[in-house]
Structure 1
């Protein structure tokens, strides 16, 4: 059984912020534009009103809008943010599977390489995985590789996978719109699992937003199970008056 703490540590090791530090009951992250996952603060202990005031002030002093990642066991913190007018953004499911559920052979027309080549960067850019997110991949210090898929003779998909504590995590899995529903994502996940076995990984994990029902259905069909969830909280309007 993989503990929640282990899984969260692996997720951060395979998609790391530029810096990370304790700030009262929070983990404070600097993401350098690399997206919500590397920029949100999260609570690692109960949060008081005064402690929330302090971290809001820190966000504001740095010219950043307050952004929090709320994990499924942070019910009281979630309620506090709701009372302050923070909206729920991007509910996300954590999915996990044993590597043994994936094929043992290398699928056709999918490849691993590091560093990623120009065409992978183009595919990512079309899916809003910009240069700052590619920089997240570049600063990963554990075993890592990029994935490239072709459909016919044309590049069709790109992804990134890294391994920490024998858990491989797939990130930035993007398939060209014209190549969807042709098994491209399935083939890239099979390659990720094959590569991860060679790194002595025992499990494969990923994250998918609840809104992406098609992708979640695909991952479930491959034997991946939901093992946790989180969402973000941020304000879309000025703070409520109390």
Structure 2
């Protein structure tokens, strides 16, 4: 596995609306909505770092945006130290956590059941029966929370966006629409538990990327995030994914604890440099 595998997976799963090549670096723009879609992806072994950073700064100034860099395992050697020397500070140190997904055995039941008449919905994960023994496998449905089922849809509906934006959103209606365009830039599945919790899964070959895990403030500590995550993992296995990854801000200890309990371990780290 190459050093830049997660840099590239994350970039493809969260596609910026604008992409400009600058000597092998990708200058990403999306109207300032999300750092990931409005930052330099500085992959490759460029040695002319100072002029490369100068060009990036000039580009983003022309866009009316701050210049930010996503510095991950595949970043150009020496770039992080150079940015620090130029006055860039570290923002949002983030962990990339991974877990294996066991293949679905022939004849095995689905991790979610189809929901008749669900429109764009793909299916749902029913709550386990009373007294059922919980499975320890990564991606198995979990108990806890209400009896509502996890719904999987092929696009983010208004209710899904309401929940996610209430937790992670920055800005008004225009910013929310830009975020929706970013999310729908690649095929994905959107899991929801009514107006209480949501998540997004992107199947990328043998990888499943998990994004947008969010629980409304009034619905926390009920096991909803666990159920959403397991529904997405189950869907990924159905689609042939063999591994799952997700990105979590290092300071989010509650989310990290949940992911660790579900078998995720830290595989890589990245952060942003902004000035």
- Quote the Cα distance in structure 2 between the aligned partners of 1:147 and 1:105: 13
Match of 1:124 among 152, 164, 167: 164
SS of equivalent to 2:168: coil
Q: TM-score, normalised by structure 1?
A: 0.86
**CA shift for structure 1 position 115:** 2.3
Match of 2:183 among 122, 132, 137: 137
Given the superposition, is the C-alpha separation of residues 51 and 105 from structure 1 closer, same or farther in structure 2, using an over 3 Å criterion?
Answer: closer
Q: TM-score, normalised by structure 2?
A: 0.76
The structure with more radius of gyration? 2
> 2:72, 2:269 within 8 Å by CA — same for their partners in 1?
yes
> 1:95, 1:207 within 8 Å by CA — same for their partners in 2?
yes
Aligned to 2:11: 12
Given the superposition, is the C-alpha separation of residues 106 and 216 from structure 1 closer, same or farther in structure 2, using an over 3 Å criterion?
Answer: closer
SS of equivalent to 2:244: strand
Q: Which has the higher strand share?
A: 1
SS of equivalent to 1:127: helix
**CA shift for structure 1 position 106:** 7.8
**CA shift for structure 1 position 14:** 1.6
> 1:106, 1:194 within 8 Å by CA — same for their partners in 2?
no
The yes-or-no answer on 1:177 pairing with 2:217 is yes
Aligned to 1:148: 192
> 2:191, 2:199 within 8 Å by CA — same for their partners in 1?
yes
Given the superposition, is the C-alpha separation of residues 7 and 50 from structure 1 closer, same or farther in structure 2, using an over 3 Å criterion?
Answer: closer
Is there any run of 5+ residues in structure 2 with no aligned partner, and where? 103-136, 170-175
Match of 2:258 among 202, 205, 218: 218
The yes-or-no answer on 1:168 pairing with 2:208 is yes
**CA shift for structure 1 position 229:** 0.8
Deviations 1:28-76 (A, max 9, x none): 1122343111110022223422222222112212222111111145451
- Quote the Cα distance in structure 2 between the aligned partners of 1:138 and 1:216: 26
Aligned to 2:100: 98
> 1:99, 1:202 within 8 Å by CA — same for their partners in 2?
yes
- Quote the Cα distance in structure 2 between the aligned partners of 1:174 and 1:41: 26
Counterpart mapping for 1:49-68 below 5 A: 49-68=50-69
- Quote the Cα distance in structure 1 between the aligned partners of 2:38 and 2:211: 16
**CA shift for structure 1 position 134:** 1.9
Q: How many residues align?
A: 228
SS of equivalent to 2:212: strand
Aligned to 2:153: 113
> 2:190, 2:199 within 8 Å by CA — same for their partners in 1?
yes
- Quote the Cα distance in structure 2 between the aligned partners of 1:210 and 1:190: 21
Counterpart mapping for 1:20-99 below 5 A: 20-44=19-43, 45-46=45-46, 47-72=48-73, 74=75, 76-99=78-101
